[in-house]
Amino acid sequence: MDTGTHIVMGFALGGLATLDPVVAESSATASSVLVATIIGSQIPDIDTVLKLRNNAVYIRNHRGVTHSIPAVLLWPLLIVAAVYLFHPEANLLHLWLWTFIAVFMHVFVDIFNAYGTQALRPFSCKWLALGVINTFDPFIFGIHVVGLFLWAFGLHPGYTFLVIYAVLVLYYITRFIFQRNVYMAVMQAVPDATDVIIAPTMRYHHWRIAIMNKHQFFVGRAHKNHVRILDQFNRVPVPETPILQAAKKDKNLSAFLSFSPVYRWELDEYDDHYEVRFIDLRYRSNGHYPFVAVVKLDLDLDILSSYTGWIYSEEKLKKKLEFLPG
């Protein structure tokens, strides 16, 4: 989920904790739990700072180690140790319990996005991405904000957020049902599909679709149960040529390939260099595919520059390739 939603969820869990008798009976414990749940709801995304290094490092590591099983166990201990220094009168066990719930909930709700997490590390590096909830879901964020306003106006926060989370459980169930209906519609449109990726958007009944069969890629949109194919590409395996092999050694392209499950590739030859481009087909926007990896090589197959990330114009891409070394 996005940062804003994780923040309001931290407040909500702090409010929900007031249903715990130990928390409710101690103002020190209640205030400590609120601080800890807010921090705990944010801490797994500390790896966002990797963007300061480069996109390749960020793509390879975001929602990886910091969302893993060891991290989910370690973060609460670190947070509780820090909070307890300022509130030693707080109940340590219940402070840890609600902090753990906050960290766990952060990782758990991220699984429902299209981006997903590597939540099973170190046992598996597989990305868990159920693709039923958009990274920012207006309903989920909005209902949390409503709950916070009701809390501010005097309603009991525990019961308020208990009702809200019951509503959200039903909301998640409906999202799975709608996604399943879209999947059935996709299979009617492309009966020989071998792989189907369905990703939510901010609009409730609108979904992005990437479909593969043995010979083609299909990119489309779905509105409710109506599927519309917008683009179609032949599946061309990446050849084992010296140019492509040299390009794959680049850190940006390597990061892209570790993350993207469905893409097509292009190779352009110029007088003094080659340009290899890999294009993720999941994020079509206004006829454009913004998530790419591009490697520029000289005629001796040495990497001149490269880039991976979101690009919405060729002009910006050219500028980045001019200034970014391989």
The yes-or-no verdict on residue 326 having pLDDT over 60 is no
Rounded to an integer, what distance in angstroms lies between the CA atom of residue 8 and that of residue 86?
A: 23
User: What are the backbone angles phi and psi of residue 209, rounded to the nearest 5°?
Assistant: -135, 135
What's the mean pLDDT in 167-188? 97
What's the mean pLDDT in 283-307? 92
Kind and range of the H or E element at 294?
Answer: strand 291-298
Percent of the chain with pLDDT over 70: 98
CB 63 within 8 A of CB 118: yes
Residue spans per domain, the chain: 3-136, 242-323
Give me the pLDDT at residue 115, please: 86
What's the mean pLDDT in 53-78? 90
Give me the pLDDT at residue 126, please: 87
What's the mean pLDDT in 259-274? 92
Give me the pLDDT at residue 324, please: 58
The yes-or-no verdict on residue 322 having pLDDT over 80 is no
Eight-state DSSP code of residue 127: -
Cα angle value 239/241/247 (rounded, 5°)? 95
What's the mean pLDDT in 103-111? 97
CB 160 within 8 A of CB 151: yes
Percent of the chain with pLDDT over 90: 82
Q: Give the model confidence (pLDDT) of 116-149 as tens digits.
A: 899 999 999 888 999 999 999 999 999 999 999 9
Rounded to an integer, what distance in angstroms lies between the CA atom of residue 265 and that of residue 244?
A: 10
Average pLDDT over the chain, rounded to whole? Answer: 93
In Å, how far are 103, 114, 153 from 148, measured between CA atoms?
20, 27, 9
Contacts of 297 (CB under 8 A, 6+ apart): 243, 246, 247, 273, 274, 275, 276, 303, 304
